Chain A
Amino acid sequence: MKRKNIGVLICTISSIFVCMITAFPIYWMINISLKPRSHVFIYPPEILPLGFNISSYIQIFQTGDILIWIKNSMIVASSTVILNLIAASLGAFGLSRFDFKINKVFIFLLMIVQMIAPALIITPIYILFLNMNLTNSLIGLAIINTGMTVAFSTWVLKGFFDNIPSEIDEAASIDGCSKFQIFRKIILPLSVPALITIAVITFFDVYNEYMFALTFITDQSKWLATVGLAANIAKIGVSWDIMLAQASLFCVPPILFFFIFQKYILKGIGEGALKY
Chain B
Amino acid sequence: MFLVLSIITLIFFFPIIKNIQLSTTDAQFVEASKFIGLQNYLNVLQDYNFWHAAIITLIYTTIYTISIFIVGIITALLLDKAKGRRKTIFRTFFVLPFAIPDTAAALVFLWMLDYQFGILNYFLNFLHLTKVPVLWLSSSPLLSLITVISVEIWRFFPLHTLIIYAAMQNIPKELYEAAEIDGAGGIAKFFKITIPQLKRILSILFVLTIIWCFRRFTMIWLLTRGGPARGTETIVIQLYKYAFPFNKMSYASTIGMILLLITIVLAVVYFKYSKQE
Contacts and interface: CB of A to CB of B under 8 A. Distances in A.
B108 A265 contact: no
Interface string B45-62: 000000000000000000
B144 to A, nearest CB: 16
B184 interface: no
In which size bucket is the chain B interface?
Answer: 35 or more
A22 B5 contact: no
A22 B272 CA distance: 35
A95 interface: yes
B9 interface: yes
Interface in A105-155: 106, 108-113, 115-128, 130, 147, 150-151, 154
Contacts of B116: 43
Contacts of A250: 101, 103-104
Interface string B78-104: 110110001001111111111111111
A14 interface: yes
B257 to A, nearest CB: 8
Interface of B: 1-2, 4-5, 8-9, 11-16, 18-19, 22, 30, 74-75, 78-79, 81-82, 86, 89-112, 116-119, 122, 126, 154, 158-159, 162-163, 165-167, 186, 201, 204-205, 211, 214-215, 217-218, 221-222, 236, 239-240, 243-244, 249, 252-253, 256, 259-260, 263-264, 266-267, 270-271
Given A25-B105, A25-B108, A211-B218, 20 more contacts: A40-B117, A91-B1, A91-B5, A98-B1, A117-B214, A122-B252, A123-B243, A124-B16, A127-B22, A128-B14, A204-B99, A210-B102, A211-B240, A215-B244, A225-B103, A229-B103, A250-B101, A255-B100, A265-B98, A273-B159
Interface of A: 7-8, 11-12, 14-15, 18-19, 21-23, 25-26, 28-29, 32, 40-45, 47, 87, 90-91, 93-95, 97-98, 100, 106, 108-113, 115-128, 130, 147, 150-151, 154, 204, 207-208, 210-211, 215, 225-226, 229-230, 232-233, 240, 243-244, 247-248, 250-251, 254-255, 257-258, 262, 265-266, 269-271, 273-274
